[in-house]
Structure 1
Amino acid sequence: MTSPTATVLLVFGCGVVADGHGHRLTAEGEARTRAAVAYVTAHAAEFRRAALPRVVFTGGWPLGIPEAACPPAGCREADLMLARARAAGLDRYADLHAETRSRTTLQNLVHTVEDGLLAGHEFDPARPLGLVSHPWHLPRIRFLAGKALRLSGAALLEVAAADTATGRARRRERVIRAAARLGYLGVHTPAGLLRRERGIARSARLLSGWTRR
């Protein structure tokens, strides 16, 4: 049996690097963009037949960067990924959109919906939502999509970028994933999830300040 094709993709950002030439994507952000381009071109016929084929790039700047130091408009994670995808000709197969105010994976999902970037689409096993990220990140995205979008199982299709993560990075992600499962326990609305996330972030900052004393 042929697996269904996701003709709506959600591509997750992974940081921006500032240097003497301006702003550029991290290697992980570049890899995720390449994975989206490769998936769409490999399924070009399905994208051409789809009623509303769409690729949404999501991400502003990582939570650890102060708001005052955020990249300017046009240089945020989603902006840069979209520009790379357009240069690769992806707009021949799908509408391309950027959500640029998110700073976390949860915000990626919630703000994409709030901005209407998934409007007109319903997702199920026959028409899944494609999630584009690294293999170590996708389990947490799935968990949060279940909370924020009420989607799970075959209604979500994973599109994995080439993985070059170190063992340390994978261990860190496992800790974050476990913390998310515990921290969001019992919360099932987007607004509630964002409130809980803010509370977790405040607690983490307080704990960090205490441990440095």
Structure 2
Amino acid sequence: MTAPVATVLLVFGRGVTTAGGRHVLTPASAARVGAAIDYVHAHRDAFAAAAAPLVVFSGGWAGASRGAPRPPEGCREGDLMLAAARAAGLSAHAALKLECRSRSTLENLLHTVEDGLLAGHAFGPGHPLGLVSHAWHLPRIRFLARKVLGLPGAALLDVPATGGEPASRRERALHVASRLWFLGVTDPAGLLRRERAMVASLRRRATG
């Protein structure tokens, strides 16, 4: 049986840095943009018989919780990922959208929904939502996507990026902590409260 193709991709940012006085994507963020571009090109024949695919770039100010300064207007993760995709010519093959308010993976999902960027799309095993990130990040994204979007695992398709940085040592701890702190919670406000409490707890443990 032919594997289903995701006609909607949600791309998660992985930070912004500076080079030559300019704000630029980290190599990991750039790798995720590249993975989305490669996926669209690899499935161009499947998309030819339907509407153009949709690619949503989600990423704002990930360093906010660590006290990182606010990036200038137009220089958040989502802004720069969208610009990189356009520069690579992806807008000729896909509709591109942007979310640039989020400060965490949970907020990536919540704000994407709140901004209506997935409106009009129904997801299921035959029409999955593509999640674009590194393999070590995808398990936590899947867990949170089920919470926020209410989708079964079969309605989510991993689109792993490679390169840019090694696997995050902190990610496994975040995944385990998320499963504990978000147990039984599905409403957006409750999830955000739990996330803030979880981050504060992890920070105290790291410095205690």
TM score, norm. by length of structure 1: 0.90
SS of equivalent to 1:151: coil
Q: Which residue of 2 aligns with 1:198?
A: 196
**1:55-204 paired onto structure 2 within 5 Å:** 55-63=55-63, 64-66=65-67, 69-163=69-163, 165-166=165-166, 169=168, 171-204=169-202
Q: Residues 49-104 of structure 1, C-alpha deviation per residue, up to 9 Å, x if partnerless?
A: 3336210000012144436x111121110111111111111111211011000010
Structure 2 residue runs of 5 or longer lacking an equivalent are: none
1:146 to partner: Cα distance: 0.8
Q: Which residue of 1 aligns with 2:13?
A: 13
- CA root-mean-square deviation: 1.8
Report the count of equivalent residues: 207
Distance 2:20 2:90 in 1: 29
SS of equivalent to 2:126: coil
- Are 2:31 and 2:164, in contact at CA under 8 Å, matched by a contact in 1? no
Distance 2:59 2:181 in 1: 22
- Are 1:6 and 1:128, in contact at CA under 8 Å, matched by a contact in 2? yes
SS of equivalent to 1:102: coil
Distance 2:59 2:147 in 1: 19
- Are 1:32 and 1:161, in contact at CA under 8 Å, matched by a contact in 2? yes
Distance 1:28 1:164 in 2: 4
